[in-house]
Every structure is written in C-alpha cells, then in structure tokens.
Chain A
C-alpha cells in the first residue's frame, strides 16, 4: 500500500511570540464556560468558535495553547478542528460567501449564483481571493429552503437571491473592507 505521508515529526508550525489566548480570555472561560461542562474538554467547541471568529482561522499555535488550557492533547484539539467545517486551518477571507448548494437551492437556481461569483471574483469554491477579501464556499443546506436560493455572507443569511442582489452584497462588502483588515 502506498501511503501519502507528511514528515510531521520534522514539520515546523508558524509561531508568534504573543500568545493567542490572553489571561482575560482564560479567566472569562474559566468563569463562564468550564462550569457548564462535566469535563474541561467540553468547553472546546465554544472556545474554537471564539478563536475562529477572531482570526478567521484556528492557528496551530492557538490549538496548542487551547490544549494546555483545557488539559487535553493538542491532537484532540486538531481532531475537532479538522472534523467541523466551520473551523479552518487556512485563513478565510474578510467576507465569506457561503452559497447553499442543497436540493431546494439547486432546483431554484443556485448554480448561476455560484458561477457568477466565480467569474466575478476569479476564485473557485473553497478558495480565497489574493487580496484576502473574499472566500467562496458552497455549503450544504442552510435551513431556509422556502426562500431558496440563499447564501450566508459572513454570519448574515440572505434570501431569495438574484445575481443583482449578490452583486450589491459583494460591492457593499468591498466598501466595508476598504480600510484594510486587522490581524
């Protein structure tokens, strides 16, 4: 059997001197999150949500720091990060366009939206533009089939989409991100 192997033993991960987890964050989690769950491991998903939201990805260094905070192995954090679609190890764009591709949206014309965004931004699904402003995702059902086709622009759902509406949303996102991003 031919296995594709990565030299993980010698692989280096990008690090920075400033820790991702601040003392204030740890104190808040210790007070609000940890008591909810019977194990410290239980608080992992809410913590990952917070990191993903702040950095638009979960950096490897943050995973190690979280593992230390929760007293679990970094491998367990990596396991959860890579299983769930919302956590990414690659940095997402400032505006993430998640177009629903499930059945109701497909029969109501999601494909022309995807094709439009592809040609407008010059990226394929699951790619980010070179300027880091947009990421295009095709997602499974967003639970709004009565208003198909739908898409998430970051955390906001937009319903009954047309090419014109998508153009408008992209233009607005471009203006909002005009001043340059943080981190």
Chain B
C-alpha cells in the first residue's frame, strides 16, 4: 500500500497534499493541538527495549546517506551504567544538492524533538546534542526556540519527558558547526562537539561503545529521528506498507522518504514519496517536468558523493538498491540534482572535484593529494589542454582513494571517487571531445 497521506510533512504543506506557500513554522502549541507529543506519551508507556525492537522490526534505514538500519545501530549500545550516554543528531546537511532536513527544521522542529525524546528514552540516553551546520543561521534560531519550548512544556530537563511521568530525564543542547563538510561524518561530528578540528576517527572503537567524550553515543540523521515517532504511532505494518522490497535480494527500502529535487526542473523542492519511486515519475509528476521542456541528460543520484545517473538511467528507482543497479554509490540523501541537455558535464565534474578538494579534511594522504590532483586534471581537460591519458589518470586516481580500496579513514574520498568516476565513465564521449588523443608509435616489420 503506497503512501496515502503526508506523514513527515503532515504539518508542512507539500505537493500533492498542500501548497508550499502556506508553510509556517509550527510552534509547540500548534504541534500539540495536532497530536504532537502524543506518540511520546505512548512510547513512555512501553518498555525501552520494546521501542528498540519496534524500530528494528520496521527496518528503518538511516536517512543520512549510508542507509544503515537505525534499530540495529541502537542495539550496539552497551547496557546503561548510570553515567552519561549521548545522542548526537546530525543536521550537518552539507552535501551539495541536499536540503531535506532543513525543511523539517524550518517548519516542524518539534517532530524532530519528539523523535529525539523517544530515541533517548528507548536507548536510555540522557544527553542529546543537536549538531546543526554553521550556515543554517535561521534554522539554528528556530531549533533553539523549539528546544526552549520543549523544556518549558516538560519534554526535556529536570522535570522532563512529560513532566516526570517517565522517571527518565533528557538534556537537549544545540551545537552549531562552523562550516566544515567533514563534520557530517559521524566521528568528525563528535570531534567538533568536543571542540576539536573535525577529523574522523579510526573505527573501531565504534561510537556506540566509545563515542562523544569517550562515552556510548548514538548518531542519527534528523529525518531518521523524525520517522521514529510515526513508526511508534502507526506501527510496523504501516511502515512496511510504504516503500518497496529489494529487487536484487538486498535489504528492503521501507517507508516514506523526503526527496529534494534541484537543478533543471520546473518546480524544484522537497517532496515526500514512497521509496522506490522512479526518478522520471519524481521529475514529471512532482516537479512539473524538465525546465522549459528540455531533455533529461543526467542527474546526481542523491547528494554529489553518490555519483551521476546517465541519460539512459532516467527510470532509475529511488531506493536503496540504486547503487547496485545503476552503478552509483547509493541512494545517499535521495536528493537528486537534475541536468538538462545543455549541461556541460565536464564543468559538472570540475565543480564536484572542487568541492571535494575544498572539503577534504587533510587527514589521509590519498584523499588530500588525490582530490587536488583530480581537480587539476579536470581543469586541464576543461581548458582543452588535456589528453586521453589524463582521463585514464583521473580514473586511476579516483579508484585508488576511499574506503572501498581501503586507503582512507572515512568515506569522503569514496564520494569523490564515485562522483568523478561515474561522470567520466557515463559521459566519456563528452570528455573525449575535449582532449587530444595520445598516439603510441608502433613500428611494423622492423627487427
């Protein structure tokens, strides 16, 4: 049964259920008048492990990019020992093309806070850090106001989780980042909260065992936590009714998902859809088609790290199988940037390479050096000074960096690898037109 009503966007008018013009930030009174914090009431009447099992059964896969099952992540925590345990909410959202979490923070911050409260109760975590990227100035203010309201209404603080009804209390703090993409990587995020430079940590130990300030820590994406409430409220069967099964024998892609479409479409924006919706349907039905009726040329699958879909992959299903089926890294944040027929793909490759060069944290040599050299080579090709050998060199550098070849600590380099490699491979002709061929002299007949 597909999604029949807005769930994550219940209070945020979104096509086809509402008009984005009518969006207003939902304060706590309006939130509670429309069923808000009722789910938290239900949750605290349950045993914490019941909630963890519920989320595990629902197979809620993380919405931040990797698609790791959230319930499973929660079970990695050791049993409570009476000392501080942390929940870190990842609202770094610095992946180019991605703007879905901003929608939730902008208009329905309490939906997130309810999810945070439920997750904290379920996992017995007593301190939550809401990590929001530095560039989200307005959103940080909205969130801080919502947190203050939640304290005043007995959700957080000394008399928190519904005015002490749960015998459990949670502190919730906002922590602003300061403009570093790498802090969206979960251990880089922990370093940033500790006040240090955002260098990702070597795992193991995993954050669930030894995370923030050396204590057990769960890190979840904003949208993941926003989905926890509806799962507790509506149940596992409903959740599994949305989305789709895997068609390649992998883990399923259940539930509704926020998808943010940008680029050359008539009506860009965030939409709530079933996972598995074909990209063509998303563009044609939700976004009013390609801008000015132009032809589809390609799209970034979901945040630039995922790589691009080629002109023949317009019908790609937006679910967690996309990586296996269409030679991209994965679904990522499910926020495609769409390109029309006039787009210069060499320029796109240069833009993405520049992004990764700027945002590499500099800790691992293959990423720090490789990202710089790839940018130089692509710029050389863009200027028309490259050779076919340069294209091979680009692919060689790309393939040598990241977690897949095992040369870096975190996945930033894999993003760089996939972004560049998929563009060069899927639009090879366009690159070859810009470079000079390399002739290898061959002598025939002579000895």
- Using a CB–CB cutoff of 8 Å, the interface residues on chain A facing chain B are 36-39, 41-46, 48-49, 70, 76, 79-80, 83-87, 98, 101-104, 106-108, 139-148, 152, 155-157
Contacts and interface: CB of A to CB of B under 8 A. Distances in A.
B269 A146 contact: yes
B262 A146 contact: yes
A80 to B, nearest CB: 6
Interface string B76-94: 0000000010000000011
A42 B195 contact: yes
A44 B196 CA distance: 8
A84 B134 contact: yes
Contact of B215 (A38, A79, A84, A102): A38
B223 to A, nearest CB: 13
Given A38-B215, A103-B352, A107-B343, A45 B195 contact: yes
A46 to B, nearest CB: 7
A157 B138 contact: yes
B178 A84 contact: yes
A41 B268 contact: no
A102 B135 contact: no
Contacts of B180: 83-85
Nearest to A87: B178
A41 B134 CA distance: 19
Contacts, number: 147
20 contacts: A39-B194, A41-B194, A45-B193, A79-B196, A80-B195, A85-B134, A87-B178, A103-B97, A104-B96, A104-B97, A106-B351, A107-B337, A139-B179, A140-B359, A142-B135, A143-B136, A145-B96, A146-B270, A155-B138, A156-B138
B110 interface: no
A146 B99 contact: yes
Given A42-B195, A104-B262, A104-B337, A141 B96 contact: yes
A147 B27 CA distance: 25
B254 interface: no
Given A79-B196, A146-B261, A140 B355 contact: yes
Contacts of A107: 263-264, 337, 339, 343, 348
Interface in B313-368: 335, 337, 339, 343, 347-348, 351-352, 354-355, 358-359, 361
A46 B175 contact: yes
Given A84-B178, A104-B263, A106-B351, A143 B192 contact: no
A49 B133 contact: no
Contacts of B212: 38
A140 B181 contact: yes
Contacts of A79: 196-197
Bin the interface of chain B by size: 35 or more
Interface in B269-320: 269-270, 300, 304
A144 B99 contact: yes
A22 B42 CA distance: 48
B174 to A, nearest CB: 9
Contacts of A108: 263
B68 interface: no
A146 B270 CA distance: 8
Nearest to A152: B135
Contacts of A84: 134, 177-180, 197-198
A14 B355 CA distance: 34
Contacts of A145: 96-99, 260, 262-263, 268, 335, 337
A24 B198 CA distance: 30
Given A140-B358, A146-B261, 12 more contacts: A45-B177, A45-B195, A85-B180, A104-B263, A140-B94, A142-B135, A143-B93, A143-B94, A145-B263, A148-B268, A156-B137, A157-B138
Contacts of A144: 99, 102
Interface in B202-240: 212-213, 215
Given A38-B84, A146-B269, A83 B198 contact: yes
Given A39-B213, A49-B178, A155-B137, A44 B195 contact: yes
Nearest to B83: A38
B57 interface: no
